[in-house]
Structures are given as structure tokens and as C-alpha cells.
Chain A
């Protein structure tokens, strides 16, 4: 079992460029999440998906879109990157009704110049 995988591991973008962060899990979890982690701010939820076909906004959704492609995959898209989106992005998954027990991917370090 690979658990939760994310690609890419590192990315540098110029302001205004777009990109998609990919996430996949092989634990048959229903729920998936995207977080960003910034120094002093902790983990902040961007979007989550409670099940295939559903997505909901989290705490900081502005500037992002998501797609729950199927049960395994949950992607995060930056349509027009801004320097404020420089961060480490984590994808996570959990069983339904066990939201506290989240399994995290290795993260993507994104720099927007």
C-alpha cells in the first residue's frame, strides 16, 4: 500500500501561471482533504470531499478549485497563481465518520514568484 501519494513534490510557478496538484489514495477512504501549511498558521483546510462526487469549501478556498475524479483521486487546481499561495500543500484522506484519523501525503512545496 502506497497510502496517500502526491505529485509533484516541488514546483516553482510564476505569478499568473496555473497548475494542478494531484493526489491519490489506495486505502479505499471516502473522505479526502486539501490543506496548506504556512509557518505560524498551522494546517488550514482548503477543500474537502466527503465522498466521490461531492466537494465543499474549507477555511481558505479562494484562488483554488478541486475535482474529485473518482474515489481514489482528488486534485487541486490553482488557476492563476499568486505569491500568497506559496506554501506547502498536503492532501489527506480518512474513512467516513473518522475525520480525526487522517492519513497525509508527503506534501508539495510550491513557490510562486
Chain B
């Protein structure tokens, strides 16, 4: 089992809809989670973090964390064509002095005008 799993997509949603991106992780003691966005041909960029169970909202983005079920989600409300990108889930592990960060392979989102 991969440490961090994401559906590669593409996930296609119409403009204005809610896009739901999911990520599951295997290390039960993982404490910290981050979402990155990567446009085609560009480098990953930070979107938002979540550390506690529940929802965290930042503008049109909502991160959801369920540690019991070991999944983290990213909801994008009122999706725009400019949201079309690959979204990477990053999970911070718990072993050793360096807190290992594992990235998922990403879910490609396509927002259709």
C-alpha cells in the first residue's frame, strides 16, 4: 500500500460546481497535512494546511481531515477554469528527527467552462 494515495483523475467538473479531491494515507500517526497545486509545466505551490479533525476554510477552498478514517479532502467551491491543475496531497510523517514528508501522485482537475 502506498503511503499516500490519490486518484490520478482527471476529475472533470463544470464551471461553478464544487470539486472534491480526496487523499488517503497509511501512517496512522501522521499529524500534519498540506495541499499543493501544480499547474502544467510549473512547480508545486502551497494552498493550505490542516492539522486537526474537521474542516478548515480559506476562501473558496475547504480542507477536511478525518484521522480515524485516514483521509484528507480538498473542496473547491465555485470552480473556475483557472483552478484546472494537478492537486498534490502532502503528509508529514512521524519518524525520526527529520519529519518525513510524503507527496501523493496528485489528482488532475479539469474545470470545463
Q: Measuring CB to CB, which residues of chain A are less than 8 angstroms from any residue of chain B?
A: 40-43, 45, 48, 50, 56, 90, 97, 99-107
Contact = CB atoms under 8 A, between A and B. Distances in A.
B103 A103 contact: no
Nearest to A43: B103
Given A42-B88, A43-B88, A99-B92, A104 B44 contact: yes
Contacts, number: 47
A4 B49 CA distance: 21
Given A42-B88, A50-B98, A56-B98, A101 B34 contact: yes
24 contacts: A40-B8, A40-B105, A41-B105, A42-B103, A42-B104, A42-B105, A43-B88, A43-B103, A50-B97, A50-B98, A90-B43, A90-B44, A97-B99, A99-B92, A99-B100, A99-B101, A100-B32, A100-B33, A100-B34, A100-B92, A101-B49, A102-B90, A104-B43, A104-B44
B66 to A, nearest CB: 18
Interface in B60-106: 88, 90, 92, 97-101, 103-106
Of the listed residues A40, A41, A101, A107, the one surrounded by the most CB atoms of chain B closer than 10 A to its CB is A101
A106 B92 contact: no
Interface of B: 8, 32-34, 42-46, 49, 88, 90, 92, 97-101, 103-106
